[in-house]
Amino acid sequence: MTLGPLEEELAKARAAYRNRGRWGEADVLGTLNFIDDAIRAHAAGLVRRGRSFSLAQGFDGLGDRTSTRWDGLGRGHDNKYAWHGGSRAVTDGDSVTGIEHLRDAFTGRGVLLDVGRAVGDARGELPDGYPISEEHLRDAVEAQGATSSVRRGDIVLVRTGQLGRVRRLGAWEGYASGDAPGLSFATLGWLHRTEIAAVATDTWGLEVRPSGFAEPAAEPLHRIAVPHLGLPLGELWDLEALAEDCAADGVYEFLLVAAPLPGTGAVGTPVNPIAVK
């Protein structure tokens, strides 16, 4: 998987993976439009044992830069592009596509793709800087079996194992600001084609760092995924206990309710996601 020059790849991706306009000019839901009542009813039917998993890391409120979160459709800019038109500053809030519009939207079928276990080391961990490719995602689906087939409207959880390693070693330096395994820019085609509703992971930035481009590139996957695909991105989720349970019972699908705090105009928000199996 080789990436060409940054601006060239961005231009190709903008053209190829564009959902803007797909649901009308005034749309505020993006790919969450793929979830409907039938999908939610089906997802509730996946609950068998009644076990509830919180996928949130601890919050210390004012404490640090980060928390388990959703990035909404105002987070991830591409120069003059944003999901709902107009460029705006990270720190300005989002008066059009603020996270409050998504308050009831993140209820559906969750699927865990444990890439760390499928292609990582014996502990199920990927090293920092490891780029997850489309093939790796398919490898995980295949290794995990039928319950992890990815369908339209799914909320896909990609486990890299970084959080597990950091916790095991107590090596928190850089966990919220440094290099990390994550989705390669080259997975944008898969993210677009599968028509998933959202994707989340256990690292601070979701995409691989460094980015794999020869040039400095600030969050290139965000730049396409959010303003052009309209795909909400979840970060800093704690998938460790859920992944262990899925490995034990071989079931990688579940009801997921990941309701964001509806901060008016917020471009992202803390969340305590709940998976029920």
Query: Please, how many CA atoms are within 13 Å of residue 241, restricted to the half-sphere of its CB?
Result: 14
In degrees, rounded to 5, the angle at the alpha carbon of residue 153 between the alpha carbons of residues 192 and 50 is 140
User: Euclidean distance between the first and final Cα of the chain, in Å?
Assistant: 36
Which residues ranging from 212 to 271 are in contact with a copy of itself (CB under 8 A)?
Answer: 216, 218-219, 222-223, 255, 257, 259-271
> How many angstroms from the chain centroid is the CA of residue 125?
18
The secondary element (H helix, E strand) that includes residue 156 is strand 155-159
In the bound complex, what is the minimum distance in angstroms from residue 143's beta carbon to a copy of itself? 27
Spatial CB neighbours of 162, under 8 Å, sequence gap ≥ 6: 125, 126, 128, 175, 180, 181, 202, 203
138 binds a copy of itself (CB under 8 A): no
Which residues ranging from 143 to 182 are in contact with a copy of itself (CB under 8 A)?
Answer: 167, 170-179
Which residues ranging from 1 to 40 are in contact with a copy of itself (CB under 8 A)?
Answer: 36-40
123 binds a copy of itself (CB under 8 A): no
Closer residue to a copy of itself (CB): 141 or 224:
224
Closer residue to a copy of itself (CB): 23 or 262:
262
Q: Candidates 94-102, 110-118, 143-151, 195-203 — which segment interacts with a copy of itself by CB under 8 A? A: 94-102
**How many residues comprise the chain?**
277
Closer residue to a copy of itself (CB): 72 or 116:
72
Q: Candidates 101-109, 130-138, 149-157, 185-193 — which segment interacts with a copy of itself by CB under 8 A? A: 101-109
206 binds a copy of itself (CB under 8 A): no
| 3-class DSSP assignment, residue 223 | helix
Q: Give CA–CA dist 119/125, Å, rounded.
A: 8
205 binds a copy of itself (CB under 8 A): yes
Q: Give CA–CA dist 76/86, Å, rounded.
A: 12
92 binds a copy of itself (CB under 8 A): yes
Burial 63-83 (b: 16+ CB within 10 A, else e): eeeebbbbbbbbbbbbeebbb
Q: In this chain, which of 2, 24, 50, 122 binds a copy of itself, going by CB under 8 A?
A: 50
Size of the site for a copy of itself (CB under 8 A): 89
In the bound complex, what is the minimum distance in angstroms from residue 28's beta carbon to a copy of itself? 14
Which residues ranging from 51 to 70 are in contact with a copy of itself (CB under 8 A)?
Answer: 51-54, 56-67, 69
Q: In this chain, which of 48, 123, 152, 168 binds a copy of itself, going by CB under 8 A?
A: 48
- The site map against a copy of itself for 67-86 (x = CB under 8 A) is x-x-----xxxxxx------
Q: Give CA–CA dist 227/86, Å, rounded.
A: 10
